[in-house]
Amino acid sequence: ALSVAIVGGVLLGVFIGLRQYSFWDFTLTGLSFVGISMPAFIAGIFGLYIFSVQLGWFPSGG
């Protein structure tokens, strides 16, 4: 998971760097700030809602 995150981060960084001040620059930078500032339990609740309630892939309880 760490190697995927590192490779993905480097690729997105290069993509944003090549298209400075574009729509994609502002969008991906904003999403990065939201992702870093979100607490882990909130991300877990969103994940539970999406994968359990909306998609029905996993049970919502133990």
pLDDT tens-digit readout, 28-58: 889 889 888 988 889 889 999 999 999 989 9
Both tokens of 58, joined, read 């996993």
Q: Which residue, among 35, 41, 46, has the nearest Cα to 12 in the 3D structure? A: 35
pLDDT band at 4 (very low <50, low <70, confident <90, very high): very high
Listed in sequence order, the residues at least 6 apart from 24 whose beta carbon sits closer than 8 Å to its beta carbon are: 15, 16
pLDDT, residue 55, reads: 94
pTM over 0.85: no
Task: Please give the pLDDT value at position 1.
Answer: 85
Per-residue pLDDT band at 2 (split at 50, 70, 90): very high
